[in-house]
């Protein structure tokens, strides 16, 4: 597997841990910690996938997701919401806005890797995850 992932997460230790897990699995991970500049970071880095927290400074993950889905170049970009917000209404809102997957913190490394692999496979075959 492999490819470029943009991890939008404001907690530095979480960014580092997720980056380590994914890089060991062959992914190139770039971290970004500010919601206000996240859309620009997606445009600049052109990732194969975005992992997105909901609670971010500047713009929320929901606002970022909406902007990604509204953009011509990012409408089909796989987005995994990875957040501490585990309530059903948050998950439903994310899927209604176009999230491809949703994991809550804390998560297992195996679940994270399996979800990322599933999204990458769906993108490669042109399917929605």
Structural domains for the chain? 12-113 (3.40.50.2300)
Instruction: Taking residues 82-111, report their average pLDDT.
Output: 95
Per-residue exposure over 67-78, b if at least 16 CB sit within 10 Å of its own CB, e if not: ebeeeeebeebb
> Which one, of 123, 45, 37, 111, lies nearest residue 79 by Cα?
123
The answer to whether residue 128 scores a pLDDT higher than 70 is: no
Mean pLDDT within 70-89: 95
Instruction: Answer for the pair 65, 79: CB distance below 8 angstroms, yes or no.
Output: yes
Q: What is the pLDDT of residue 126?
A: 77
Q: What is the mean pLDDT of residues 88-108?
A: 96
**pTM listed for this prediction:** 0.95
**Tokens matching residue 19:** 């980056």
Q: Which one-letter DSSP state was computed for residue 125?
A: H
Condensed to tens digits (0 to 9), the pLDDT of residues 81-95 reads 999 988 999 999 999
Three-class SS of residue 27?
Answer: strand
């Amino acid at each position: 597997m492999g490819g470029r992932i943009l991890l939008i997460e404001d907690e530095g230790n979480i960014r580092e841990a997720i980056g380590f897990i994914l890089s060991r699995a062959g992914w190139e991970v770039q971290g970004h910690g500010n919601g206000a500049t996240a859309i620009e970071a997606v445009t600049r880095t052109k990732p194969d996938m975005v992992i997105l927290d909901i609670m971010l400074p500047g713009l929320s993950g929901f606002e970022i997701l909406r902007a990604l889905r509204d953009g011509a170049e990012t409408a089909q970009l796989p987005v995994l919401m990875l957040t501490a917000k585990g309530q059903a209404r948050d998950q439903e809102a994310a899927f209604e806005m176009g999230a491809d997957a949703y994991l809550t913190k804390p998560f297992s490394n195996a679940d994270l890797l399996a979800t990322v692999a599933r999204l990458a496979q769906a993108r490669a075959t042109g399917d929605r995850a």
